[in-house]
Structure 1
Amino acid sequence: MPGHVILSHGSDAGPDATKVSVLAKAAEALGWSTERPDYREDDALGHAGCIAPRIAKLHRRIAASEVPPVLVGSSMGAFVSGLASLELPVAGLFLLATPAMIPGSERAFDVRLDMPTLLVHGWQDDVCPLDDLYEFAGRRQLPLLVVDDDHRLGAHIDAIRRQFTLFLQQLAPHA
């Protein structure tokens, strides 16, 4: 088996959300194992309040993995995946519609820079402004794929799936 992927859904979604479901199937088709933690109870604490419990849950899943996993996240799932990567070893980050900051939180988005990372964002994202993520990616020289879509990225799910497949294929020799 090439490796393990942990996919974290966004707020107001669940582990069966479209993006994480499509990407889980893409990983499984390549022989990767996957899991999708359920953060809905944590999300009831509000955007700022759910960050610490989400990270704690994600830390437990990372620690339970036999190999450093690839973290995939959408929106709030991307935010906590980046922060979790600062504290535990992971093989890579594939992050969608990432907020650079969560209102009411003292923590800003960040990632470890010594691993493969790809950020995907929509030009018309009115939930997580592109300007903030563009500045973040530029300061850290991280790859950022921007598509003509909104926060849900629904019009580009097939392109995102293909990009994720390439991302995993590049990691497979190292996983």
Structure 2
Amino acid sequence: MPLHICFIHGKESGPWGNKGQLFSRIANERGHEFSALNYLSAENPDDPESRVKMLNAYLAETKIPGNELILVGSSMGGYVAARASQKYRAAGMFLMAPAIGLQHYPVQWPEIKAGSVYLVHGLFDRTIPWMNTNMLSQKLDCKIHLLADDHRLSDSLDLIEEDFLIFLAELESTLNA
């Protein structure tokens, strides 16, 4: 049974940037479905809750079963994935430099509902403190990979791919068990 990898891009990027292309390729190679909405077309793209509303509408419309749903979020997309999981529990969530623990966001520490969570963050991130992601990993008791990179993580795409393949293999094995 194929999984559905849903990529949620960050505030200033788009669905087909380097990360979107990476996750699309992995999904294709592994025989999984892939989706990536363009959140720049949300009602108010600068408002994370507007993006949450857009993702929730998509998940309601497509009716992707929770045991097949993998939410992959980058930066603001990590926040959007976390908030969406409150309504649509995911089998897995892979978050890169998630916008969690930020005072100017409507919900600083959204409750994450996912069977498996994997976090990645750059140690030189000047946009979102890596310590927020570290606190989240402790709260969730999940894996975290801190990388020698900045917020965009553009120098770490090979490592992100390795991490995601490990994460995905675990989900595939539980789904096929």
TM-score higher than 0.5 here? yes
2:154 aligned partner: 154
Q: Name the CA shift for 1:77/1:26 in 2 (closer, same or farther; >3 Å).
A: same
Task: State the AA in 1 paired with 2:135.
Answer: E
SS at match of 1:116: strand
**Higher fraction of strand:** 2
Deviation readout 1:58-110 (Å, 9 max, x if unpaired) = 11222314322100010000111011111212111000011223443331133
| 1:9-48 mapped onto 2 (5 Å cutoff) | 9-42=9-42, 45-46=45-46
Q: How many residues align?
A: 172
Moved more, 5-14 or 18-27: 18-27
Give the drift of 1:43: 7.9
**Is 1:52 paired with 2:40?**
no
Q: Which runs of 4+ in 1 moved over 6 A?
A: none
Moved more, 107-116 or 144-153: 107-116
Give the drift of 1:119: 0.5
In structure 2, list runs of 5 or more residues that go unmatched: none
Higher relative contact order (CA 8 A, sep 6+): 1
Give the drift of 1:5: 0.8
> Are 1:99 and 1:109, in contact at CA under 8 Å, matched by a contact in 2?
no
Give the drift of 1:21: 1.5
Task: State the AA in 2 paired with 1:60.
Answer: A
Q: Distance in 2 between matches of 1:72 and 1:152?
A: 15
Give the drift of 1:170: 1.2
Moved more, 16-25 or 56-65: 56-65
1:66 aligned partner: 64
> Between the two proteins, what is the percent identity of the paired residues?
27
SS at match of 1:54: helix
| 1:1-175 mapped onto 2 (5 Å cutoff) | 1-42=1-42, 45-46=45-46, 50-63=47-60, 64-68=62-66, 69-112=69-112, 115-175=115-175
> Are 2:93 and 2:114, in contact at CA under 8 Å, matched by a contact in 1?
no
> Are 2:45 and 2:51, in contact at CA under 8 Å, matched by a contact in 1?
no
Q: Distance in 2 between matches of 1:35 and 1:114?
A: 18
In structure 1, list runs of 5 or more residues that go unmatched: none
Q: Distance in 2 between matches of 1:169 and 1:42?
A: 32
Moved more, 27-36 or 107-116: 107-116
